[in-house]
Amino acid sequence: AALYLLVLVAFLGAFDTLYYHEWRARLPALGPRARSELQLHALRDFVYAVLFAGLPWVAWEGWYLVLLVALLLAEVVLTLWDFVVEDWIRKPLGGVYAGERVMHGIMGIVYGAMLANIVPALRTWWAKPTGFAYSPAPISEALRWVLILMAVGVFLSGVRDLCAAAGIRYSAWPWVTQKQ
């Protein structure tokens, strides 16, 4: 069930990014004003890229599990920090959209359910010798590949957010960059 919930998180996150961050708020075009939010989004994107690409295929066994747990918890901390930063960044724009707040709440609930459902696998992995083991998850191969595609997409989104945060030319495309 954990990976089905992770797939749901992936699709909800893609919608949140494309609709709210890109289309409605046009965050990459805000330039330096949105730097903090874009950097946080990039960090979360890189965490999700590892989770989406790794969990469907690899068991994090023994002490390597500590790295995975650190990533899972880092996502929670980054999300909570992002809630605060979004309010600060978006206040001059009229605030965070109501639908976006609801989406973030739903995503948090689904992520929490995913964490609760992954605990049995984590217990099993902890008892094994330290290492990564090829261990395709008990979901369809198609869903494992969907998560790989989502990993690539979220990684590229993170790179774009970092570029936009740094003010790199054309990184806000297709939006027009706002001058500060």
Q: What is the pLDDT of residue 168?
A: 92
pLDDT for 32 beyond 90: no
Q: How many domains does the chain contain in total?
A: 1
Sign of CA dihedral 76, 81, 84, 85: negative
User: Which one-letter DSSP state was computed for residue 2?
Assistant: H
- Structural domain contains residue 180: no
Please count the other Cβ atoms lying within 10 Å of the Cβ belonging to residue 10: 21
**Cα–Cα distance, 142 to 13 (Å, whole number):** 19
- Structural domain contains residue 56: yes
Residue 31 banded pLDDT, cuts 50, 70, 90:
confident
- Structural domain contains residue 138: yes
Domain that includes residue 20, residue range: 2-165
CB within 8 A of 180, min separation 6: which ones?
31, 32, 33
Kindly compute the dihedral angle of the four CA atoms of residues 45, 51, 53, 54, in this order, to the nearest 10 degrees. 150
- Structural domain contains residue 132: yes
- Structural domain contains residue 20: yes
CB within 8 A of 137, min separation 6: which ones?
3, 55, 56, 57, 144
Contact (CB, 8 A) for 130 and 43: no
- Structural domain contains residue 179: no
The torsion angles phi and psi of 172, rounded to 5 degrees, stand at: -90, -5
Please name the amino acid found at residue 104.
H
pTM for this predicted structure: 0.94
pLDDT for 154 beyond 70: yes
**Cα–Cα distance, 134 to 144 (Å, whole number):** 13
Residue 179 banded pLDDT, cuts 50, 70, 90:
low
**Cα–Cα distance, 33 to 152 (Å, whole number):** 27
Summarize pLDDT for 42-81 with one digit per residue, the tens.
Answer: 999 999 999 999 999 999 999 999 999 999 999 999 999 9
Question: Quick check: bond before 174 cis, omega within 30?
Answer: yes
Pick the range with the lowest mean pLDDT from 127-141, 143-157, 161-175. Answer: 161-175
pLDDT for 92 beyond 60: yes
- Structural domain contains residue 172: no
Q: What is the pLDDT of residue 7?
A: 98
Residue 178 banded pLDDT, cuts 50, 70, 90:
low
Kindly compute the dihedral angle of the four CA atoms of residues 83, 96, 42, 3, in this order, to the nearest 10 degrees. 70
Q: Which is more confident, 135 or 31?
A: 135
